[in-house]
Structure 1
């Protein structure tokens, strides 16, 4: 399985975009959209500190790497989970593993593979305390298909030369994120906005109505 467009937005909104290396809440050097050395590829601890001169270019680089990282975490979930999943369940698990790297060790995965689809195991990974809101959102997504994020508020953060976040530079919408990912070379499908989908559906219905008369 592959993560859906809505799943991509969910992960991005949870993670935010940081165009310079920073230390996360447990001190791990991180860059871009939640990228750490554990994911392979560039090591944020070895990157130049502080904000880049060209923020827009750095954001595109971060989104290109985000696309690569998503491929890796999709593959991990596909290997770890042996039971059929609905799309929203798969998306929730990719978000969980993207953040924790724990899909192979989690009791959540063990329960799923036994046929327990309750999703209770999401609440087994609650440190640091700042992550509790995300775990609840992932659990709710797994259980109900409610994509809690997906708003117009994906933050791009400022960071200083010591790896500390210094507030939000700006926010971008989900549609803008998807456009930028395509510009960065992503082949992931970009879904139309709901309003565009509704307009197209109405047009098709009107044309069919003419031919039925």
Structure 2
């Protein structure tokens, strides 16, 4: 692990500890998207996440997440590895064991259950919106619609048709195919015609 990356992670953790009162030990809820991304960049979750967050970090998933990734892996073969990664972690009881729901809804329900008070107060929410407007330029208004420009016709539709006009049946001329004889046959024909 690079020292710069470790220091940056510690700075970010310090920000959340000071502003949102998040303290170790951390519980990290892993979903299929995170596991898929870690596979693509070849990150070993069990080894590297505790290095950044601390040795007491608990990595968990839910039954809903596992079932969703399993269904997706049956439809797409490239998600089989993701399913194998998700299954490695301990399962946290989400309360949807009998009737599985989508992973995103399951995660939201767990967050609401564990955090009865909102993470962001009204003041913090307003501050975040003003910072977004200032630095990113995002407004609450939807972006203006673009005017549609007139488009050129499809170049394939402008081509001349390759159909030929039908000729009258009486004057129909068939093109005869010329046959080329091989040299052997020509020699044999010449010898038989000279023999006669």
Q: TM-score, normalising length from structure 2?
A: 0.22
Larger of the two Rg values belongs to structure:
2
Looking at both structures, which has the greater relative contact order when contacts are Cα pairs under 8 Å and sequence separation is at least 6?
1
Q: TM-score, normalising length from structure 1?
A: 0.21
Which has a greater percent of strand? 1
